[in-house]
A and B are shown apart, each in its own frame.
Chain A
Amino acid sequence: MSGRETDAPTGVETTGHEWDGIKELDNPLPRWWLWIWAACVVFAVGYWVAMPAWPGVHGYTKGLLRASDRVAVADSLKVLDAQRGASARALRTASLEEIERDPKLLAYAQQVGQSVFGDNCATCHGIGGTGGKGYPNLRDDAWLWGGKLEDIQDTITHGVRTGRPGARLSQMPAFGRDEMLPPATIDDLTEYVVKLSGRPADAAAAARAAPVFAEQCASCHGVAGLGDQTIGAPNLTDRDWLYGPGRADIRGQIYAGHGGVMPTWSGRLSPETLKALAVYVHANAGQ
């Protein structure tokens, strides 16, 4: 070809393109590459016809095979449901006690419960269910709203302090912040509560606080401080402290009256999932 430069060392024509003195040789494409490219073109045409390919104004070309990932996913979910069918049905019809007594159902409920717990509950209660300050420990034997299967199912289903119908509701007054009691009395009450839990405390302060406790606190926590699970009043004599066991923790709770919120799960989780969750929490609390 005239007018084109030939590269001396290789004897190959250049394309005429040059960058910083580097010239491009006009070598032919490797034959294998050309064949693969041609095969790709042929394949692409077949693919357009067979598979969804071209967007249009109203939708897209569906292709002869009618392939659809959405349909495929829906189909495999149906298959999964069918596989789980027997166990899921059993979960729906059996009572909570029956689920827990049947080793196979229990194992199934534990599996379902574990994954649902990890997705929904672990954010606050921890993946191991031991909670933290302000978030109840679900593995021990101290329960605010009752630790029986039905109690747990009820708490999960309706939640705590959500304002929805059926939700658990209790309110510890903020004796300090709302100026219901003077600070000195709150200090005395703190000593009284420490003494209730069997720890060494200032006897004089506790004695001063005794009538205040009887008047202000006993209506919920009980005269002996044992609490009441029907109204969500914590037991003050054990070693389980939702907001911490120290004097500062206890005083802070009397002062401000914290109360956490647990979501209402009915409507978000199916009834059988709620059952599985209740069984999971109950069984792993070792009850």
Chain B
Amino acid sequence: MPTLIDNTRSPASPKSEGKGQARAAVSAAARAKGRGDARGGLYKPRQPIYPKLVHGRWRTVKWALLIATLAIYYVTPWIRWARPGDLPQQAVLVDFTGRRFYFFDIQLWPQEVYIFTGLMIMGALALFLVTALFGRLWCGYACPQTVWTDLYIVVERLFEGDRNARMRLDAQPLSLDKAWRKGGKHLTWLAIAFGTGGAWIFYFHDAPTLIRTFWTGQAPLTAYVSCALLTATTYGFAGWMREQVCTYMCPWPRIQGAMLDEHSLQVTYLRDRGEPRGAHKKDRDWAGRGDCIDCKQCVVVCPMGIDIRDGSQLECINCGLCVDACDEILGKLGRPTGLIAYDTDAAVAARARGQAAVYKPVRARTLYYALALVLVGGLTLWGLLARPKADLHVIRDRNPIFVRMHDGAVRDGYTLKISNRTFFDQRFTIAFDGVAGARLGRPGGAADPGVVLAPADQVVSVRVFVTAPVDAALAASTPVRFVVASSAARAEAKTVFLSGAENPQ
């Protein structure tokens, strides 16, 4: 039974709240917990968090991912892709009006939405696997909430300075200086938010057209509404709500506990090395004490406002900024880095017992997740590759279900829906199979009732009459099938021929 180490209850790491403890609340999260509404209100007031700028390995990775993910988001709709005829020339396009999804050379119809289902399940399983192996990497590095919040903090720093300057500014009474800094920040935030919402809508319409019609007021209403909604959510989530989105709104932090165990790599404070913590004088010896000098740099850089030394906790997004902060201090002290590091609870516990740390990336949980991921991935890929190029649906006439002709022959009517999923026109021949000698007919006395032209990327609807011979002597219901075939594709559909044998004239 896996157990997570809970450092908050350990006497060596006194938590701020509670009775008569010497140490004051260190993190914003701890302060907020101590400030609850005495009458049991639903919401505790937020403690503002002023994350300090930090430099280091993980911060560099985060910068790189920030640029990469934002670039993908903004550039993708502008990639052009050659497709024949009048088809959209946009590489990635969710065309709701045309009911098609284009992704480079892949084109999906609404009935192929199961591919998306597969992708969603794969995404969830990949998240499970990554979390079991490396903790919440998604949260810390790739989640849009993290990326945009990071971007917003850059803007905030630009206008208001780093942590201490920001705290000073907030404490000041309103002045011209404060007003322009705050105003400038919010205006820039709003501009970024508008850019976010504005980029989103390009995924749903031809981007070069929409960027013109958007400003002339001729764009569809959905474009304006979506843009406004995303502007509002981006500004609200990344500017005002920040860590509260992760802690209160996002379900993932609540679920991730089920994926983590003592062998998951997470941002961990190595208690075995850090305790007992305390201030350190320059010329003193390091013997008999921990490496943690309680400088609280890990706390002030944390965008979630927590103290990682309390151990693994719900709020932690595993971004590693405290690792960078601590390494910087340790470097200055001349101590080995890695007091806070991506490590496992099992390794910390082993070292505390004086044993060698054991890392087990391959364990039952990660095997199951990987297996499920491969399975679903394989099924989705197979579903994508084995898609038919044509599709046939047969709708039998329900009123009248059959017609008796003047000579006693019986005729049934069918509507055939032939989908041509290729990018070129196809000439399909219609064959009817199941009643010997049956005659095909089309309304309007078509010269060649067995041939139909299906334009590229369209569904063509054809009414077909099938007349059984007078002497066919059919049962009331005969199983039959239609087969449509072109030079490139073939599809068939089963239906029945109703002869009215049980409704004698």
Mark A residues whose CB is within 8 Å of B: 100-101, 106-107, 110, 126-130, 137, 139-142, 235, 238-240, 245, 282-284, 286-287
Would you mind naming 12 contact pairs between A and B with Cβ atoms under 8 Å apart?
Answer: A106-B444, A110-B443, A130-B399, A139-B400, A139-B403, A235-B406, A239-B407, A240-B406, A283-B463, A284-B413, A286-B411, A286-B465
Residue contact A286 to B443, C-beta cutoff 8 Å = yes
Residue contact B403 to A137, C-beta cutoff 8 Å = yes
Q: How far is the CB of B440 from chain A (nearest CB, A)?
A: 10
Query: What B residues does A107 contact at CB under 8 A?
Result: 461
Query: What A residues does B407 contact at CB under 8 A?
Result: 238-239
Query: What B residues does A238 contact at CB under 8 A?
Result: 406-407
Complex CA–CA separation, A30 to B443 (angstroms): 70
User: Is there a chain A Cβ closer than 8 Å to B123's Cβ?
Assistant: no
User: Is there a chain A Cβ closer than 8 Å to B389's Cβ?
Assistant: no
Q: Pick from A110, A130, A235, A283: contact of B400, CB below 8 A.
A: A130
Complex CA–CA separation, A226 to B443 (angstroms): 26
Q: How far is the CB of A118 from chain B (nearest CB, A)?
A: 11
Residue contact B505 to A283, C-beta cutoff 8 Å = no
Residue contact A239 to B505, C-beta cutoff 8 Å = yes
| Number of interface residues, chain B, beta carbon within 8 A | 20
Given A128-B400, A239-B505, A286-B413: A140 in contact with B444 (beta carbons within 8 A): no
Residue contact B405 to A140, C-beta cutoff 8 Å = yes
Name the residue of chain B whose CB is nearest to the CB of A129: B400
The winner among A101, A106, A107, A128 for most chain B CB atoms within 10 A is A128
Q: Pick from B406, B443, B505: contact of A245, CB below 8 A.
A: B505
Query: What A residues does B441 contact at CB under 8 A?
Result: 286
Q: How far is the CB of A250 from chain B (nearest CB, A)?
A: 13
Complex CA–CA separation, A130 to B406 (angstroms): 13
Query: What B residues does A128 contact at CB under 8 A?
Result: 397, 399-400
User: Is there a chain A Cβ closer than 8 Å to B408's Cβ?
Assistant: yes
Q: How far is the CB of B231 from chain A (nearest CB, A)?
A: 29
Residue contact B444 to A101, C-beta cutoff 8 Å = yes
User: Is there a chain A Cβ closer than 8 Å to B404's Cβ?
Assistant: yes
Residue contact A287 to B445, C-beta cutoff 8 Å = yes
Residue contact B445 to A140, C-beta cutoff 8 Å = no
- In order of increasing CB-CB distance, the 5 nearest A-B pairs are A283-B443, A128-B399, A100-B444, A238-B406, A142-B406
The winner among A106, A142, A235, A286 for most chain B CB atoms within 10 A is A286
Complex CA–CA separation, A126 to B411 (angstroms): 18
Besides A128-B397, A140-B405, 8 more A-B contacts (Cβ < 8 Å) are A126-B399, A140-B404, A141-B405, A142-B406, A239-B505, A245-B505, A284-B443, A286-B443
Residue contact B444 to A130, C-beta cutoff 8 Å = no
Q: How far is the CB of B403 from chain A (nearest CB, A)?
A: 4
Query: What A residues does B413 contact at CB under 8 A?
Result: 284, 286
8 A Cβ contacts from B400-440 to A: 400, 403-408, 411, 413
Query: What A residues does B406 contact at CB under 8 A?
Result: 140-142, 235, 238-240
Complex CA–CA separation, A141 to B463 (angstroms): 17
Complex CA–CA separation, A135 to B491 (angstroms): 40
Complex CA–CA separation, A107 to B405 (angstroms): 25
Name the residue of chain B whose CB is nearest to the CB of A110: B443
Q: How far is the CB of B285 from chain A (nearest CB, A)?
A: 69
Complex CA–CA separation, A129 to B397 (angstroms): 12
Complex CA–CA separation, A176 to B278 (angstroms): 124
Query: What B residues does A130 contact at CB under 8 A?
Result: 399-400, 403
Complex CA–CA separation, A284 to B399 (angstroms): 11
Complex CA–CA separation, A127 to B461 (angstroms): 21
Complex CA–CA separation, A286 to B445 (angstroms): 7
Complex CA–CA separation, A142 to B407 (angstroms): 9
Name the residue of chain B whose CB is nearest to the CB of A241: B505
Complex CA–CA separation, A66 to B207 (angstroms): 40
Complex CA–CA separation, A129 to B398 (angstroms): 12
Residue contact B443 to A239, C-beta cutoff 8 Å = no
Complex CA–CA separation, A132 to B481 (angstroms): 31
Query: What A residues does B467 contact at CB under 8 A?
Result: 286
The winner among A127, A130, A282 for most chain B CB atoms within 10 A is A130
Query: What B residues does A239 contact at CB under 8 A?
Result: 404, 406-408, 505
